[in-house]
Amino acid sequence: MADDYYKILGVTKEASEEEIKKAYRRLAHKYHPDKSGGDGERFKKINEAYQVLSNKEKRSQYDRFGRVFSEGGGFSAEGGPASGWGGFPGFNWSSDFGDEMFDWGDVFDSFFSQFKGGVRRQTYTAGSDVEVRQEITLEEAFRGLRKKISFRTNLACKECGGLGYDKAKGLISCSVCQGRGEIKEQKKTFFGNFAQIKTCPTCFGRGEMPNSSCPVCGGVGRISGLREVSINVNAGVEDGQLIKVPGAGEDGERGGKAGDLYVVINVKSHPIFSRQRNDLFITVETRLTDAMLGKEIKFKDISGEHFAVRVPPDFDFKEKLRVPERGMPVFGMSGKRGDLYVSFSLKTPKRLSVKAKKLLEDLDKEL
């Protein structure tokens, strides 16, 4: 039975694109194999589910048929014929014939490759995407900054330029596949014998072998190392926001395409201000008499700028005083800021003199 992608991500079938994206980020971070307690197999399924449900066309096919079809139609991306293919609706396709197991995807892929002229396939193992977390302060999120980060990953070998061999000594034709990059295997199936075409495991589909493999990377073309990347963090960035740096992830094997880098921004909590999207919240201590007399109450905003507010008449101290354009910058909108909301903590004297008490009693009568 095919996996339930909605169940894997923990969302309903009515989930929006944003809900699916949030569920993926949360689960991918939790089960990433590089993390303590990570689960490589579950992480793989989470990625598979997201690749389908984040694509409108694939999601539509999945919702209708319970699986996704390849561009050629008729065959599912899960490696088997589509439901009801070939006039056999509901037929229980099985890949178990005696003790021999085989992959339907390989069978039909090799079948149609004969009509494509048997073009040699070259395999270059691409690098994986990398996710790192970067913590910044609320002040840095307000100003924006350029940040240099470093992380350990697989980098292209400098000795061989990422090729995996000595370019000066050249290449020779692979003796196993005779330079085709593919080998033929016979498979016994329900329909009879099929000749399967598979990538040559000796030359990895290239059809050529080096005369001299790189002694540093062992012919892989990459080694473990520390990568440094500078990123721009724009003003107004929010906690949990992703920054994508194309091609800055893990380098591929033997010149394969590099993966992308995803930087998750974590904005540290602030001792004075709290944040909700673009708005900031602060509690300011003031004397009751200053508030009642409408005196200026001075403090700093998140930029460090000094300013003052006055408590308006008839103000309900259970409410918050809104100060426009004193919050965080609105991400991607230059010059626009959110609002600041001020709560007042009224400070009362510990002791009242006889004179002060008499004044308050007179004030109470007056009010």
330 is in an annotated binding site: no
- Partnered with residue 228 across adjacent β-strands are 150
Q: How many CB atoms lie within 10 A of CB 155?
A: 18
Has residue 305 been placed in a domain?
yes
- Indicate the residue among 233, 268, 303 that finishes a domain: 268
What per-residue confidence (pLDDT) applies to 174?
Answer: 85
- Indicate the residue among 65, 83, 115 that finishes a domain: 65
Distance from C-alpha of 103 to C-alpha of 96, rounded to nearest angstrom: 10
39 is in an annotated binding site: no
Alpha carbon of 92 to those of 80, 179, 196: distances in Å?
11, 39, 23
Residue 46, classified by CB atoms within 10 Å of its CB into exposed (0-12), middle (13-18) or buried (19+), is: buried
90 is in an annotated binding site: no
Task: Tell me the CATH number at 302.
Answer: 2.60.260.20
What per-residue confidence (pLDDT) applies to 110?
Answer: 40
157 is in an annotated binding site: yes
Based on the fold, state whether residues 141 and 17 are members of the same structural domain.
no
| H helix runs in the chain, sequence order | 5-9, 17-31, 40-53, 56-65, 104-113, 138-143, 288-292, 354-366
80 neighbors 70 (Cβ within 8 angstroms): no
64 is in an annotated binding site: no
Based on the fold, state whether residues 328 and 241 are members of the same structural domain.
no
Over residues 99-124, the pLDDT tens digits come to 333 444 444 444 444 434 444 444 56
160 is in an annotated binding site: yes
Domain range spanning residue 50? Answer: 5-65
330 neighbors 304 (Cβ within 8 angstroms): no
- Average pLDDT value for the chain: 78
Decide: pTM greater than 0.75.
no
Has residue 199 been placed in a domain?
no
Which residues, at least 6 apart from 344, have a Cβ–Cβ distance to it below 8 Å? 283, 284, 285, 286, 291, 297, 311, 317, 321
Q: Give the pLDDT mean for 273-280.
A: 92
Over residues 230-260, the pLDDT tens digits come to 999 999 999 888 889 999 999 988 888 899 9
